[in-house]
Amino acid sequence: SAVRRYNFNVVMKSTTRLCSSKPIVTVNGRFPGQTLYAREDDTVLVRVVNQVNYNVSIHWHGIRQLRTGWADGPAYITQCPIQPGQSYLYNFTVTGQRGTLLWHAHILWLRATVHGGIVILPKLGVPYPFPAPHKEVVVVLGEWWKSDTEAVINEATKSGLAPNVSDAHTINGHPGPISNCASQGGFTLPFQAGKTYMLRLINAALNEELFFKIAGHKLTVVEVDATYVKPFKTDTVLIAPGQTTNVLVSADQSSGKYLVAASPFMDAPIAVDNRTATATVSYAGTLSSAQTTPTNPPPQNATAVANKFTNSLRSLNSQKFPAAVPKKIDHNLFFTVGLGINPCTSCKAGNGSRVVAGINNVTFVMPTTALLQAHFFNLNGIFTTDFPANPPHVFNYTGTPPTNLATTRGTKVYRLGYNSTVQLVMQDTAIISPENHPIHLHGFNFFAVGRGIGNYNPKSDPKKFNLVDPVERNTIGVPSGGWVAIRFRADNPGVWFMHCHLEIHTTWGLKMAFLVDNGKGPNQSLLPPPGDLPKC
Ligand code: C2O
């Protein structure tokens, strides 16, 4: 194993998209940011130097951070933010993982422009469990606002209303040849006929699940969230913010140009959305004047396409990569996830109310000291350990919403013993409107053992759980008007954030944290914090 060193200078950079320019927060002046490369078992050292006027922190999304929660990155959860002029050295080892992940800012809405890929290659000499591709390409999907994103969210927080949606989606930073600024072109993916390519797809968008398609080409899915899956062919990939998907593409056309499209998926559309990002696959030897073969992205509410993709995912569960699904469960949890409405005296535009979100009716309040520090140093009064294992009252979650839509507020965590096992059913509620929630758990991969539409039935549904080869991942969509069941083993001591990866829902409070105790054995405790850990 090796040590990989990176310098991440957080700097402002004037950037032009959609034919207009604005200063954005970047790492090393790039949008999207550079890809971080490592091999399984390597140690990664990233020095983040904050040279902007915002507080900053960076999260290595999907890296397990075994015993190194101090390097996880969510501001006020595992660390205080890096203040302007300050720096922090993220120090972690990539243990037992290989595949595609992403890094992103984990404070305010800075991840709109502060994000990039993470590629963890297998250990030297270890092949992929599929034929090696001719080339690998990182493809980062994102969103672009013409206005300042911090201003967008600040305005929404003041008014209590929903924020403006972005002006475009992007593929490797560009809205593409079919956009409001066609002159800027877009990302081009060069193909050589007869070769196979692996695309490492990353959804770094703030608020949109996306469909991804390439005209005239099938995609073979081989990995999601840095875990191998049983390969399957599809026209369309569904990818939620925070998720990653590796696909193999055979360049089985002889020549020509083919449109690549990333378009939004939302099966409870509140507004019509046509922000399709485009890019171009171009075969070697194709004339630049050649017509591009078009593709039809699925409509925004194509639930059947989304379900078909999701239901095709199975963990590889091979001898080398067995699916270690917990069978005996210590903590049986049922969380409702959804939106609500709280009174707000200052919210004039919102008529005295504001949109909130919660888990089991708790709207999470961000602390002013990092929870992990409070936990490690036994500071009192920062959080409570009474996060409810069940909703406060049972109702028909997918039917008529209850009359009281208010949530309670608090910085509550749910406590787990070291190595205990968890089954967590997350039920979407129809309060306000049903919506998909891509839920991300820090510090763990989990197995997605069940999924259904309607109300979860604790008697009959568990009988249908897949405990053999359920897909393993770190971010999962709770379907609109439905539920998912996940299982994981709490083998990572520390404080681990769990939240909706639609940034607006996180802002509204759809988040909580698990506190995992130290074990008694050797190597079962959270390591002490590094000396340069930022102070609040
Ligand atoms: Cu990718 Cu807590 O986030």
Phi-psi region of 381 (alpha: psi -120 to 50; beta: other; left: phi over 0): left
Q: What is the pLDDT of residue 533?
A: 98
d(CA 294, CA 276): 13
Query: What ipTM goes with this model?
Result: 0.99
Q: What is the pLDDT of residue 124?
A: 96
Task: Per-residue pLDDT tens, the chain, 536 aa: give them.
Answer: 999 999 999 999 999 999 999 999 999 999 999 999 999 999 999 999 999 999 999 999 999 999 999 999 999 999 999 999 999 999 999 999 999 999 999 999 999 999 999 999 999 999 999 999 999 999 999 999 999 999 999 999 988 888 988 999 999 999 999 998 988 889 999 999 999 999 999 999 999 999 999 999 999 999 999 999 999 999 999 999 999 999 999 999 999 999 999 999 987 656 666 689 999 999 999 998 999 999 999 999 899 999 999 999 999 999 999 999 999 999 999 999 998 899 999 988 888 999 999 999 999 999 999 999 999 999 999 999 999 999 998 889 988 888 888 899 999 999 999 999 999 999 999 777 667 899 999 999 999 999 999 999 999 999 999 999 999 999 999 999 999 999 999 999 999 999 999 999 999 999 999 999 999 999 999 999 999 999 99
Q: Which two tokens stand for residue 113?
A: 């422009």
401 contacts 430 by C-beta, under 8 angstroms:
yes
Centre of ligand 1 from the C-alpha of residue 366, in Å? 15
How far is CA 126 from each of CA 43, 247, 482, rounded to the nearest angstrom? 18, 19, 40
Q: Quick one: the chain helix, strand, coil %, rounded to 5?
A: 10, 40, 50
Q: What is the pLDDT of residue 45?
A: 98
d(CA 470, CA 479): 17
d(CA 241, CA 226): 15
Burial category of 272 from C-beta neighbours within 10 Å (exposed 0-12, middle 13-18, buried 19 and up): exposed
Query: What DSSP state is assigned to residue 50?
Result: E
Query: What DSSP state is assigned to residue 499?
Result: E
Class of domain 331-516: mainly beta
CATH architecture of 130-315: Sandwich (2.60)
Show me where the domains of the chain are located. 1-126, 130-315, 331-516
Beta strands 58-61 and 408-410, pairing class: unpaired
In whole angstroms, how large is the CA radius of gyration of the chain? 22
For tokens 């507080």, name the residue. Answer: 55
Nearest CA to ligand 1 atom 3: 61
Q: What is the pLDDT of residue 273?
A: 66
- Most distant CA pair in the chain, distance: 68
172 contacts 115 by C-beta, under 8 angstroms:
no
d(CA 150, CA 110): 7
Centre of ligand 1 from the C-alpha of residue 251, in Å? 34
Q: How far apart are the first and last CA of the chain?
A: 34
Q: Which atom of ligand 1 is nearest to the CA of 241?
A: 1
The residues near 366 (Cβ < 8 Å, ≥ 6 apart) are 76, 411
d(CA 357, CA 406): 9
1-126 matches 331-516 in fold: yes
Q: What is the pLDDT of residue 272?
A: 60
Q: What is the pLDDT of residue 393?
A: 86
3-class SS at 285? Answer: coil
Q: Which atom of ligand 1 is nearest to the CA of 104?
A: 1
Establish how many alpha carbons lie within 13 A of residue 287's alpha carbon, considering only the half-sphere containing its beta carbon: 3
Q: What is the pLDDT of residue 340?
A: 87
Q: Which two tokens stand for residue 40?
A: 């399984």
233 contacts 214 by C-beta, under 8 angstroms:
no
Q: Which two tokens stand for residue 2?
A: 């090796």
Q: What is the pLDDT of residue 435?
A: 77
Q: What is the pLDDT of residue 274?
A: 63
How many other C-beta atoms lie within 10 A of the C-beta of residue 459?
6
Fold of the domain built from segment(s) 1-126: Immunoglobulin-like (2.60.40)
Residues with CB under 6 A from ligand 1: 59, 61, 74, 104, 106, 242, 440, 442, 497, 499, 501
Q: Is the pTM of this model over 0.90?
A: yes
